[in-house]
Chain A
Amino acid sequence: MTLGKKIFSGTLITGFILGIIFWGGFNWTLELTNSLSFCTSCHEMRDNVYPEYQNTVHYSNRTGVRAECPDCHVPREWIHKIIRKVEASRELYHKVVGTIDTPEKFEQYRLTMALSEWKRMKSVDSRECRNCHDYESMDFVDQGRRAVKAHSTGLDEGKTCIDCHKGIAHQLPKGWEEAAAKAGL
């Protein structure tokens, strides 16, 4: 082997190994930042939305299957996930400037955040809900009277989960109904 070839294949192998490390590390970081404990490591998330979520069906229920923060807030498919993660670096900025660092500020900013989350969910036909709840696999015989009525008409009319199930995991802020109606959400 000539020197040039040696260097070439050496670089290739190193590159390959580095690639694995980088790629693995990247995905590992992605996984690490995709957990309830990561989300609640910021007091903004831990003090406000977390305790409310703990009183809901997605935290504790009959079957013991839990939906955690990223299940609803972070897309599952890789490419959508990356986009959301990049967007989420905005949260770091707001963390630093203290946009919601007191309960009062959080309440004040809450409607803005809720509206933005509803908009995101509506624009993808409540994709994250449907990752777990498939309309096709719902047994209407087992559902309550009100649910059957709403689901058999509403979904046919082109409504999506988040149109009717706002406040499923957190408390709703004052005046949200008017604000949502105005924004067409």
Chain B
Amino acid sequence: MINAEELSSLRGDHPLDEVSKVAEKKNWAKDGEPISRNYVQQPPLIPHKIKGYQINLKFNKCLSCHSWKKYRESGATKISQTHFKDRDGNDLAEVSARRYFCTQCHVPQANAKPLVENTFKPVDAVKN
């Protein structure tokens, strides 16, 4: 026979008959100023909420503020020229398919502690 206290499973060494500790929930950060970038070519982090934003074949909500047509009105940073290039470097008239799903590269932030320590420091010359 195994004693419950001695058994450590994925659940931790928490006795089965006790209520387990509730994991801390992470909250998305509120809308804020643009977050400074750490290196050249970094996809900038999203400094605002994006919950519920539709990005599919029919409509891309991000572009309703970030497109070249709309950025002035919305006050958003316009997507850069790179987003119109296909993989062979040709310039397209619309956002390239490989840049259409914005959240593949751009992510919003939560109040989460980094899982591992990171000592990366940007080179002074390209800091902003």
Cβ B61 vs Cβ A171 within 8 A: no
Check if B48 is an interface residue, CB within 8 A of chain A: yes
Residues facing B in A140-165 (CB within 8 A) are: 144-147, 149-150
- Report Cα–Cα, A55/B53, bound state, in Å: 10
Q: Which chain A residue has the least Cβ–Cβ distance from B27?
A: A62
CB-CB under 8 A from B32, the residues of chain A are: 145
Q: Mark B28-41, 1 if CB is under 8 A from A, else 0.
A: 00111100000000
Evaluate contact between A144 and B49: CB separation under 8 angstroms.
Answer: yes
How close is A63's CB to chain B, nearest CB, in angstroms? 14
Contact B52 A55 (CB under 8 A): yes
Tell me the minimal C-beta distance from B94 to chain A in angstroms.
Answer: 13
Complex CA gap A167/B53 in Å reads: 9
- Taking CB atoms and an 8 Å cut-off, the chain B residues in 56-92 that contact chain A are 56-59, 61, 64, 74-75
Chain A 170-185 per-residue mask, 1 if CB under 8 angstroms from chain B, else 0: 0111101100000000
What is the size, in residues, of chain B's interface with A at 8 Å between Cβ atoms? 17
Residues of B within 8 A of A176 (CB): 59
B59 / chain A contacts, CB cutoff of 8 Å: 167, 171-174, 176
Q: Is B51 interfacial (CB-CB < 8 Å)?
A: yes
Q: Which of chain A's residues have a CB closer than 8 A to the CB of B57? A: 174
Q: Which residue of A lies closest to B69 (CB)?
A: A177
**Contact of A13 with B by CB under 8 A:** no
Q: How large is the interface on A (under 10, 10 to 19, 20 to 34, 35 or more residues)?
A: 10 to 19
- Asked if A99 is an interface residue, CB under 8 A from chain B, the answer is no
CA A176 to CA B54, docked complex, whole Å? 13
Query: Looking across the interface, which residue of chain B has its beta carbon closest to that of A166?
Result: B64
Contact A146 B64 (CB under 8 A): no
Given A57-B51, A167-B61, A177-B64, A145-B33 contact (CB < 8 Å): yes
Q: Out of A56, A147, A171, which one reaches B31, CB within 8 Å?
A: A147
Tell me the smallest distance from the CB of A119 to a CB of chain B, in Å.
Answer: 19
Contact B48–A144 (Cβ < 8 Å):
yes
Across the two chains, which residue of chain B brings its CB closest to A145?
B31
B49: chain A residues within 8 A (beta carbon): 144
Known contacts A167-B59, A174-B59; A146 and B54 CB within 8 A of each other: no
Q: Which residues of A contact B61 (CB under 8 A)?
A: 167
- Residues in A lying within 8 Å of B, measured CB to CB: 55-57, 144-147, 149-150, 167, 171-174, 176-177
B residues with a Cβ closer than 8 A to A are 30-33, 48-49, 51-52, 54, 56-59, 61, 64, 74-75
